Structure 1
Amino acid sequence: MQFFLDTANLDQIREVADLGLLDGVTTNPTIMSREGGDWREQAARICELVDGPVSLEVIATNHEAMIKEAKDLVSFGPNVVVKIPMIAEGLKALRELTERGIKTNVTLVFSPAQALLAAKLGATYVSPFVGRLDGLSQSGMEAVEQMRTIFDNYDFSTKILVASVRHPLHVLESGLIGADVITLPYSTIMQLVQHPLTDSGLAAFLADWEAFQKK
């Protein structure tokens, strides 16, 4: 399973890359706005810094404007993946972008049926928002599991990119289901590294070694 970092923060990107865990980056308008400054400059720097795919999202809600934005976004680098919202106009844009050979990430996916439509139209990725489904007392991971079954049934090449991740359990369940990619906030990646027994075990080892050296 690939790990994408869900951020536009360059320091976070560098740190996760240094850990060897960075396979790509996902952004959205909210994430970009948190960094301030010129978003175009920020997007260009991210694309230069990241070896893997970088998802940049369109703002338009009609397909003609989405296509125009997509042409602009791909100019930032060959690793750009254009994020398209799961709406009817988005599907029109998705079909054309697929025909043009532009990589796409269909975002704001909340049902297996939506994921099926995106895969049928050639999306590179679909992004189910599991945390938001959980927040409505629905099972986000059950939706992902159903998507995995559908995609395997028809041998779709579209990759399942689990998004809206809220805690490490989402990561574990995504791996068990066989999701292709998971995009994580920086804080969740750091949570995966840590375990209290690791900390206490290391502290005990170091204390024993220090005592041994004093003998």
Structure 2
Amino acid sequence: MEIFLDTGMVDEIREAAKWGVIDGVTTNPSLIAKTGRSQADVIKEICEIVDGPISAEVIATDAQGMIKEGQELAKIHDNVVIKLPLTEEGITACKWFSDNGIKTNVTLCFSVNQAFLAAKNGATYISPFIGRLDDIGHDGMQLIDEIRTVYDNYGFTTKILAASIRHCTHVRDAMMVGADVGTMPINVVKAMFKHPLTDKGLSQFLADHAKANA
């Protein structure tokens, strides 16, 4: 499973990029707004740090507006992926981008039916929101599992991008059910490195080394 960093903060991306485990970045209007900078400037800088898919989201709500915005975003860098909402207008725009060789990430997916429509129109990525489903008492991971089954049944090449990941259990479960990508905040990636027995073992090794070389 590929790991994408879900952020608009360039400093976080620089830090995580040093670890060598980050394959791409996802952003959205809310994340970009936190930076106080224009989306184009942020996306351009991210593309200079991470050599992988960088999702940039349109703001328009109509298909023609999305296409116009997406064309401008795609000019920033070859790695830019146009992020579209899972609406009738978004899926319509998705088809246009697919037909014109521009990669897309269809976001705000909460059902298998939605994921099926996005795949039919050639979405590069589909983003089911695990955490938001869990918040309302649904099983977000079950949705990932169901989409995996449907995509495999019909040979769709759309990649399942598990989004709204809140903790390491989400990451583990997404890998177990076959998500192609997991996008997550930097604190979750950092937590993936951690285990109390690793810390305990390292402390013991260092203590024994110090004692042996005293």
Shorter chain as normaliser: what TM range? over 0.9
Aligned to 1:14: 14
Is the partner of 2:67 in helix, strand or coil?
Answer: helix
Aligned to 2:148: 148
Percentage of matched positions with identical amino acids? 50
* Structure 1 moving runs of 4+ over 3 Å: none
Task: Calculate the TM-score normalised by the size of structure 1.
Answer: 0.97
Offset, 1:209 = 1.1
CA contact (8 A) 2:111 2:143 kept: yes
**1:44-83 alignment, distance < 5 Å:** 44-83=44-83
Aligned to 1:200: 200
CA contact (8 A) 1:48 1:77 kept: no
CA contact (8 A) 1:165 1:184 kept: yes
Instruction: Look up the equivalent residue of 2:87 and give its one-letter code.
Output: I
Instruction: Look up the equivalent residue of 1:86 and give its one-letter code.
Output: L
Offset, 1:111 = 0.7
Q: 1:63 & 1:92 partners in 2: Cα distance?
A: 6
Aligned to 1:37: 37
Q: For structure 1, which segment, 7-16 or 107-116, has the greater mean C-alpha deviation from structure 2 after superposition?
A: 7-16
Equivalenced residues, count: 214
Gaps of 5+ in 1: none
Q: 2:153 & 2:48 partners in 1: Cα distance?
A: 37
Cα-to-partner distance string for 1:46-100 (whole Å, 9 max, x where unaligned): 1222200000000010001000000111011000000000011111111111111
Q: For structure 1, which segment, 127-136 or 35-44, has the greater mean C-alpha deviation from structure 2 after superposition?
A: 35-44
Q: 2:161 & 2:36 partners in 1: Cα distance?
A: 26
Aligned to 2:176: 176
Offset, 1:16 = 1.5
Task: Calculate the TM-score normalised by the size of structure 2.
Answer: 0.98
Q: 1:37 & 1:145 partners in 2: Cα distance?
A: 37
**1:78-117 alignment, distance < 5 Å:** 78-117=78-117
Offset, 1:168 = 0.2
Q: 1:40 & 1:116 partners in 2: Cα distance?
A: 31
Aligned to 1:165: 165
Aligned to 1:139: 139
Q: 2:91 & 2:146 partners in 1: Cα distance?
A: 21
Aligned to 2:118: 118
Q: 2:155 & 2:75 partners in 1: Cα distance?
A: 31
Instruction: Look up the equivalent residue of 2:188 and give its one-letter code.
Output: T
CA contact (8 A) 1:112 1:143 kept: yes
Q: 2:2 & 2:40 partners in 1: Cα distance?
A: 26
Offset, 1:38 = 3.0
Instruction: Look up the equivalent residue of 1:81 and give its one-letter code.
Output: V
Cα-to-partner distance string for 1:157-207 (whole Å, 9 max, x where unaligned): 100000000000011011111110010100000000011111111111111
Q: 2:98 & 2:52 partners in 1: Cα distance?
A: 19
Offset, 1:39 = 2.8
Q: 1:207 & 1:39 partners in 2: Cα distance?
A: 49
Cα-to-partner distance string for 1:129-153 (whole Å, 9 max, x where unaligned): 0000000010000000000000000
CA contact (8 A) 2:162 2:182 kept: yes
CA contact (8 A) 2:40 2:73 kept: no
